[in-house]
Amino acid sequence: MPYKKFLIVASKLDKAGINITTQMSQFNGSSGGFKFYLVDKEIIYTENLDLEKINSYDFIIFASKHKSESKEKTLSVHAPGNWRLAEFGGEKNKVSRSSSLFIKNIFEKLNENAEKFHLRDYKVTMEATHHGPLIDKPCLFIEIGSTETEWTDRVAGFVVAKAIDEAINGFKENPYNEVAIAIGGPHYCPSFNKIQLKSNVAISHVIPQYTFPLTEEMITEAVKKTEEELDFAVLDWKGLGNSWQRQRVIEILGKLYINYRRTSDIIK
């Protein structure tokens, strides 16, 4: 670190991915800091990717659509991987490498640009770590959700493209950031969003409550696949479930000698 060569990966089948990469092409002349890789099939399946091509870059950004039952308008960021079963690409119980500092940086840029270009009806959010592919390069997903109307929305595509460009060109390691993994809470991480945006803490992988019961292996995988050295785990205390589940989380962290803080303990 810091990363020098970035690859933006999108699927030719994905309208949001094509929207984002089309918008990004206008920035490439100024920076030259990234290249595009358009895949014929879905990008969540590792077997659809040319891993040799991917391995010649320092950081991979997957640009894609997001689907949800609520059909809410979203711009989202998350690390890929599976805490349990691999129903949508990757391998079960394995997550990809990611960078807490770069995720924080791109999340900040996404929020800034959504505000600047008046995308106020879109919710900007992190998501818990989920789905494939599984690759051995630091990476993240950045997505537009949740219906075809949003996937093809040019302003949304521009905002995501600008956030990516600014994150790539302005990325510097901040020695004051504290590095964390996040545990508990729902998929869209409302408590962790505030911390990522308004505190000194940089979050990489998020293990949501719906993947519980928590195991040592899940924590070890999250720590091992965070590029930076971990300072602590941040806990959504109310989002850990019942007292038994909370106790279980504390015991596992203690056994692994990992400090923790509750979200309420972090100055925002």
Average pLDDT over residues 29-53: 89
Residue 199 and residue 223: Cα distance in Å, rounded? 20
Report the amino acid identity of residue 149. T
Among candidate residues 9, 84, 83, 5, the one with its CA nearest the CA of residue 45 = 9
Q: State phi, psi for 73 to the nearest 5 degrees.
A: -75, 120
Q: Which residue is it, tokens 């609520």?
A: 70
Q: What is the pTM of this model?
A: 0.97
Write down the pLDDT at residue 28: 67
In 3-state terms, the chain is what percent helix, strand and coil (to 5)? Answer: 35, 25, 40
74-78 and 139-146 strand pairing: antiparallel
Choose between 246 and 172: higher pLDDT. Answer: 246
- What's the pLDDT band for 1 if we cut at 50, 70, 90? low
Sheet of 201-207: strand order equals 201-207, 178-183, 232-235, 260-262
Contact 100, 204 (CB under 8 A): yes
Residue 32 has pLDDT above 70, yes or no: no
How many other CB atoms are there within 10 angstroms of residue 234's CB atom? 27
- The Cβ of residue 104 has, within 10 Å, a number of other Cβ atoms equal to 25
| Tens-digit pLDDT profile for residues 142-153 | 999 999 999 999
**Mean pLDDT throughout 243-266?**
97
Q: What is the pLDDT of residues 157-206, one digit of tens each?
A: 999 999 999 999 888 888 899 999 999 999 999 999 999 999 999 999 99
Question: Which of 181, 157, 152 is closest to 249 using CA atoms?
Answer: 181
Residue 246 exposure: Cα atoms within 13 Å on the Cβ side: 11
